[in-house]
Structure 1
Amino acid sequence: MAKKLFDYQLDETVDGFFLLKDAEVRVAKNGKKFLAINFQDTSGEISGKFWDASDQDIEHFQAGCVIHLKGKRENYQGNPQIKIQQMRLTRPGEPQSVQQFVEHAPLKTSTMEEQLNTYVFAITEPNWNRIVRHLLNDLHADFFSFPAAKKNHHAFAGGLAYHTLSILKLAKAVADQYPHVNRPLLYAGAILHDMGKTIEMSGPVSTTYTLAGNLVGHIVLIDEKIVETCQQLKIDEQSESVLVLRHMILAHHGLLEYGSPVRPHVMEAEILHDLDELDASIQMMQTSLSHTEPGTYTERIFAMDGRNFYRPSNDQTKGAAPSHD
């Protein structure tokens, strides 16, 4: 069986077929162009740099194509990296399907749909329920296939729905522990909070940000969708129930400098922000720890202040993160 990216150890020769998840053209200090690449398969992604890239190289090696790579697994500033020795496009008879290299959520789409529907049924406030159902139906295919991010957390096919479902499970535990929490509001906010990423991003393969994603962002994009839905369903968008629901989404990044137009001013909005942060952080740590031998540290995680995390030597679990196969 062919080795996957994270089967290769430090200083081991890499020889296999991988997906170019990203291939960005940059200019080195010497003025020559190079490609900053992220190689991907179902075990994860590792970066590499293709130096002195010609115009033909730039034309050939586009994000989303499958390539054959020869190189060496190295570490650079605490992070895994591939030193590229040879790279070429695949030939007839060699792997061509992009899908066989794409990471997927640990749960099947049908399972996520079934589980998520139980939370929709628990949204007993009529306006919230109608809005959630309408938007789930409208964005259904993309919601269950898109990643939750281009890189950091849940950056795999189905990651958006999986991240949402994880937050809903955490929300249920919080609402069970604290009876005064408005369970329907927390559930509705959790389902909608990242749904704008179906407009912000291009899709699950070689994910990029759309023009709307770059210029507007997923928070405002889904808020606009909520207002449009209210107009279509003849729900008063200025009613308290709708304004509180919109606040859940608008405040879920917690701080203005992190992209929220407003900070949380409703208890459930603060809880949603906390659960969103918790789930994202745990998933990033799990992913890194699953590639880390007991008794050693993970690579530095940029989205967690560049910190790395120690995997105790007595941790003999097969992997700290669920398989995405």
Structure 2
Amino acid sequence: MARMEQVSLMELGKLAAEGQVEAEVFAQIAQCAQKMTKSNKPYLDVSFADAEGTMGLKVWEDKPWFRTLASLPLRSFVSLRGQWAKGGFGMEAADLEVRPLDEQEKESFLAGSGTLKKKQEADLKEICVLIKGMNDPRIRALCIEFIEQFGERLQRAAAARTYHHARRGGLVEHVAGMMRTASAVCQANPELNRDLLLAGCLFHDCGKLWENCYPKEDFTMPYSEAGELLGHIPLGIELVNNLWKRIMALPEAESWKTLDPASPDVRMHLLHLIASHHGELAFGSPVFPKTPEAVALHYIDNLDAKLEMFRGAYETSEALAPKVLQRKAPLPANVVLPLPSVLPLERDGADAMQ
């Protein structure tokens, strides 16, 4: 049995899939419901959360830690140390020790893992660099206003609840990935309006700041009335309209009146990108993509989400055969390990001259 120090829930799932492992995880109790087996015996159905994901655990009544977990309030921050393995009911634990985190441990835990935090900070920095490089002063001002007002909230939002980038700060990762792809797509297709497409990447899911946002000191994503009644597309359109009114009241907006295309047209095209980015009416968009930038945004969004789903499947899905892993929803089929890239060969001086 492998022995590990403290790991994340995602790392634990990957390790346990390979065999029994002894490890400690810090987690928050997201859900804890007492249920009954078919033989009318109680058990706990517990869901734990951290900065990278969630983990379910069924705790049977005869386990010593049954009472400990049952007595802790929801949203408690705990240490779980024990022997872990994947079984017929998902994750299984043996010799589990459960204790509340102290204040110092809780503060460190809420900051997230160092690797993930560094990645998200780098992604936000790249978003800001791409914004500063925009030529259209109206779009640039709009994006800067958004980051200045809502950057902190953006870093707490997830791109989705389950399927992709479903973690605290996941929306920053998703937006940065899309903006990188959009920049490359525009280089290959110079007829596209680069500033408009980059802004579409930034704002397409901005309504999720109210639909999929984590509290400041919590790893459990709540539901919101606005998110349920409106959804992220109408919320995003409303936000951009409000930000647009704000930048149009800036002193420098006077010099924008002579710009071509006209400001009302720029606003309308950006709103169309937000409205149409799901691509189909059946998938929640009120309109189909009707401009080249809208079509590009839809496919860039889908590509970034799908690649993240594959990364998740490679990390957590069980092997069915060599190089074949079990399907992970919403992917339509089992996944196969990718073909590695060929690294460039070192050539001697004579070959390099040819």
TM-score normalised over the length of structure 1: 0.78
One-letter identity of the residue aligned with 1:243? M
Q: Which piece of structure 1 moves more, 112-121 or 177-186?
A: 112-121
Q: Is residue 2:322 matched to residue 1:295?
A: yes
Tell me, in whole angstroms, the C-alpha distance in 2 between the residues paired with 1:87 and 1:65.
14
Q: Which residue of 2 aligns with 1:107?
A: 119
Tell me, in whole angstroms, the C-alpha distance in 1 between the residues paired with 2:111 and 2:137.
42
C-alpha spacing 1:157/1:230, structure 2 compared with 1 (3 Å): same
One-letter identity of the residue aligned with 2:272? H
Q: How far off is 1:151 after superposition? A: 2.9
Asked if structure 2 preserves the Cα contact closer than 8 Å seen for 1:123 and 1:188, the reply is no
Q: How far off is 1:301 after superposition? A: 1.6
SS of alignment partner, residue 35 of structure 1: strand
One-letter identity of the residue aligned with 1:207? M
Q: Which residue of 2 aligns with 1:276?
A: 301
Q: Which contiguous aligned blocks of 4+ residues in structure 1 show a shift greater than 6 angstroms?
A: 52-56, 235-238
Q: How far off is 1:83 after superposition? A: 2.2
Q: 2:280 aligns with which of 244, 255, 265?
A: 255
Structure 2 gap ranges (5+): 250-256, 343-354
Q: Which piece of structure 1 moves more, 215-224 or 24-33?
A: 24-33
Asked if structure 1 preserves the Cα contact closer than 8 Å seen for 2:29 and 2:46, the reply is no
C-alpha spacing 1:216/1:90, structure 2 compared with 1 (3 Å): same
Q: Which residue of 2 aligns with 1:174?
A: 185
C-alpha spacing 1:62/1:316, structure 2 compared with 1 (3 Å): farther
Q: Is residue 2:141 matched to residue 1:130?
A: yes
Tell me, in whole angstroms, the C-alpha distance in 1 between the residues paired with 2:51 and 2:127.
28
Percentage of matched positions with identical amino acids: 21
C-alpha spacing 1:92/1:224, structure 2 compared with 1 (3 Å): closer
Q: Which residue of 2 aligns with 1:90?
A: 100
Tell me, in whole angstroms, the C-alpha distance in 1 between the residues paired with 2:264 and 2:154.
27
Q: Which residue of 1 aligns with 2:47?
A: 37
Tell me, in whole angstroms, the C-alpha distance in 2 between the residues paired with 1:72 and 1:54.
16
Q: Which residue of 1 aligns with 2:225?
A: 211
Q: How far off is 1:226 after superposition? A: 1.3
Which structure has the larger Rg over C-alpha atoms?
2
Q: How far off is 1:55 after superposition? A: 10
Q: How far off is 1:119 after superposition? A: 1.9
Tell me, in whole angstroms, the C-alpha distance in 2 between the residues paired with 1:59 and 1:256.
47
One-letter identity of the residue aligned with 1:168? M
C-alpha spacing 1:184/1:62, structure 2 compared with 1 (3 Å): same
Q: 1:49 aligns with which of 58, 63, 74?
A: 58
Q: Which piece of structure 1 moves more, 56-65 or 130-139?
A: 56-65
Structure 1 gap ranges (5+): 318-325
Asked if structure 2 preserves the Cα contact closer than 8 Å seen for 1:172 and 1:183, the reply is yes
C-alpha spacing 1:267/1:123, structure 2 compared with 1 (3 Å): same
Q: Which piece of structure 1 moves more, 268-277 or 52-61?
A: 52-61
One-letter identity of the residue aligned with 2:206? M
Tell me, in whole angstroms, the C-alpha distance in 1 between the residues paired with 2:100 and 2:203.
40
Q: How far off is 1:73 after superposition? A: 1.8
Q: 2:20 aligns with which of 12, 15, 19?
A: 12
Q: Is residue 2:255 matched to residue 1:245?
A: no
Q: Is residue 2:246 matched to residue 1:232?
A: yes
**Could you list the per-position Cα deviations for residues 154-203 of structure 1 after superposition, in whole angstroms to 9, with x for gaps in the alignment?**
23343222211111111111111111111111011111112222222232
SS of alignment partner, residue 302 of structure 1: coil
Tell me, in whole angstroms, the C-alpha distance in 1 between the residues paired with 2:298 and 2:88.
33
Tell me, in whole angstroms, the C-alpha distance in 2 between the residues paired with 1:186 and 1:26.
49
Q: 2:198 aligns with which of 187, 194, 217?
A: 187
Asked if structure 1 preserves the Cα contact closer than 8 Å seen for 2:158 and 2:168, the reply is yes
